[in-house]
Amino acid sequence: MNFSQISSLALAASFALGATTAGAVEVTGGSVGLSYSAFAEDTDFNHWGLEGAMELGFSRDFSLQIDAAYHDFGFTDIDSTLLGLHGIYHLNDATSFGAFYTFEDVEGDEADIFGIEAGYEVREWEFEGYIANVDTDLGDATLGGIKARYEMQEGFGLTGSYDMADDDTGDLSRFAIRLDRDVSVNTNLFLEVGSAKAEAGGVNVSEPFVGLGGEIAFGADRGTTFDQRGLARLIPGL
C-alpha cells in the first residue's frame, strides 16, 4: 500500500468519523441503472452493465455512498463485479469532495482502487472529476476522468466525459457524448456515442462505440453525489 492509498483511506475514515458523531443516519438518495454498449463496427463486442448505489446522510456536511455493480462482456464472456465506498464532504450546496475505495473482481483477478474526487454545480452545469491509484497483482496503474453535464429544457441533458487508465504496459481511454432525458420524476434514459482507444507495445487501436441505458433514482436528492469508479466501466465491449 503506497502513500496515496493511505491518504485516501485516512480521508474516508475522517469523513466517517465526523459523520457518526454528527447525528442520525438517513438515506438521502440512490439509483439503479442498466446500460448497454457495443463497438459500432462489430456489435459482438458488447458490454452490459447493472449498477446500484445508495447514499447515507449523517448531517448536512457528511455522507457515505455505497456502490455495487455487475458487468458482462458478450464476445469474451468475461464478467466483473464491483463494490465501492465513498466518504463525502459537502462544502456547500454546490461543491462536494470525496475519498473513495473500490474493490473490483474480473474473473478472479482483483483490483483495489483508491482515489479522491470532486463535484461542482453552477446554474445549468454539473462538473465532476476524479483521480485514483489502481493496485493489482500485475502492478499499479493510474485511473482518472472528468465529466461535464449541461441541463437543457424539456428534461434533456447533454454530457461530455473523458476517462483514462494508464500503467507501464499501455493505456486505455474513453471519450463519450451522452444525450439524456427525464421521462418521469425518477426515470432517466440516455443514448451515447464515443470512441475508445487502447495503446500497448507501440500499437494504437481506436474504435467508435454506441450505447444506451436508463436509471431509476430515488430519495430526496434523486440519486447519489458521485458516479461509480472502476475499470470495467471504461470498456465499451470485449
Number of C-beta neighbours around residue 155 at 10 A:
12
Q: Which amino acid is at 13?
A: A
Cβ atoms of 22 and 59 closer than 8 Å: yes
Number of C-beta neighbours around residue 6 at 10 A:
11
Class of domain 3-234: mainly beta
Q: What does the pLDDT profile of the chain (238 residues) look like in tens digits?
A: 454 444 555 555 555 555 455 457 899 999 999 999 999 999 999 999 999 999 999 999 999 999 999 999 999 999 999 999 999 999 999 999 999 999 999 998 999 999 999 999 999 999 999 999 999 988 899 999 999 999 999 999 999 999 999 988 889 999 999 999 999 999 999 999 999 999 887 788 899 999 999 999 998 767 999 999 999 999 999 8
Query: What span, in angstroms and rounded, lies between the C-alpha atoms of 128 and 36?
Result: 22
Cβ atoms of 137 and 169 closer than 8 Å: no
Domain segments of the chain as ranges: 3-234
Question: What is the pTM for the complete model shown?
Answer: 0.88
Joined together, the cell numbers standing for residue 147 give: 465529466
